[in-house]
């Protein structure tokens, strides 16, 4: 593992290793179900209460749907 890759990804994702309270995301090692393997995952590190639920599980689909709704209004 090249630590500089994680440093660049962490910076992109808003991870502040020395200040987790100000981080946007936290990097966690998790076991995936499909495929069954371990992976580093970025998890939202702030309170998500009141934020919209992305029912599809896909942010891009969610945003595209909102944009279509705004154009048809």
The model's pLDDT over 7-42, given as tens digits with 9 standing for 90+, comes to 999 999 999 989 999 999 999 999 999 899 999 999
Tell me the whole-structure pTM to 2 decimals.
0.68
**Cα–Cα distance measured from residue 15 to residue 43, given in angstroms and rounded to the nearest whole number:** 10
Query: Tokens in use for 5?
Result: 């890759």
What are the residues whose beta carbons fall under 8 Å from the beta carbon of 58, sequence distance 6 or more? none
As a whole number of Å, the end-to-end CA separation of the chain is 49
């Amino acid at each position: 593992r090249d630590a500089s890759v994680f440093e660049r990804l962490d910076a992109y994702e808003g991870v502040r290793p020395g200040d987790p309270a100000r981080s946007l995301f936290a990097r966690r090692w998790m076991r995936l179900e499909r495929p069954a393997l371990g992976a580093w995952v970025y998890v939202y590190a702030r309170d998500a209460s009141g934020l919209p639920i992305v029912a599809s599980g896909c942010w891009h689909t969610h945003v595209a749907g909102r944009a279509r709704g705004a154009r048809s209004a």
